């Protein structure tokens, strides 16, 4: 009459909790992967010209707030050379994002070209 409840109910409850935790982890991992591929390190530097190579590629970065106004900018040079129709991945060592940054722009300002 006063028997304890069967242990199987606790087991199924803990199994349900673990399944819920696993589903949440998978969803969070998928969302992080999506964010990284959409806003990841950027696209590679590519040379669309079939006849010229480029070196000393100067760039300018602009950091914008939510209103689209520039809150910081920086200039630098890419340490690479791109042959005709070439493509390379590189990392920029630029400013850390200033407080209030909503987006950024990277613009090539100059480069040395050479006919191949």
Query: Do 16 and 31 fall into the same domain?
Result: yes
Neighbouring CB atoms inside 10 A of 81's CB total 16
Query: Do 57 and 110 fall into the same domain?
Result: yes
Query: Do 33 and 82 fall into the same domain?
Result: no
Range of the domain at 18: 1-40
Query: Do 95 and 58 fall into the same domain?
Result: yes
Query: Do 51 and 79 fall into the same domain?
Result: yes
| 50 CB-side CA count, 13 A | 0
pLDDT tens readout for residues 13-58: 778 888 888 888 888 888 777 665 554 455 677 888 889 999 999 9
Query: Do 54 and 104 fall into the same domain?
Result: yes
Q: Which of 69, 67, 64, 60 is nearest to 103 (CA)?
A: 64
For position 10, what pLDDT does the model report? 53
First to last CA, the chain: 94
Query: Do 20 and 51 fall into the same domain?
Result: no
Task: Count the domains in the chain.
Answer: 2
Query: Do 108 and 62 fall into the same domain?
Result: yes
pLDDT tens readout for residues 55-84: 999 999 999 999 999 999 999 888 888 899
pTM of the model: 0.58
């Amino acid at each position: 009459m006063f028997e304890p409840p069967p242990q199987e109910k606790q087991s199924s409850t803990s199994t349900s909790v673990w399944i819920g935790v696993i589903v949440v982890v998978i969803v969070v991992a998928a969302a992080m992967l999506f964010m990284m591929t959409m806003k990841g390190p950027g696209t590679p530097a590519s040379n669309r010209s079939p006849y010229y190579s480029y070196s000393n590629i100067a760039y300018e970065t602009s950091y914008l707030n939510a209103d689209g106004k520039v809150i910081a900018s920086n200039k630098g040079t890419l340490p690479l050379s791109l042959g005709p129709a070439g493509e390379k991945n590189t990392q920029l060592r630029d400013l850390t994002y200033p407080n209030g940054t909503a987006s950024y722009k990277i613009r090539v300002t100059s480069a040395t070209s050479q006919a191949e």
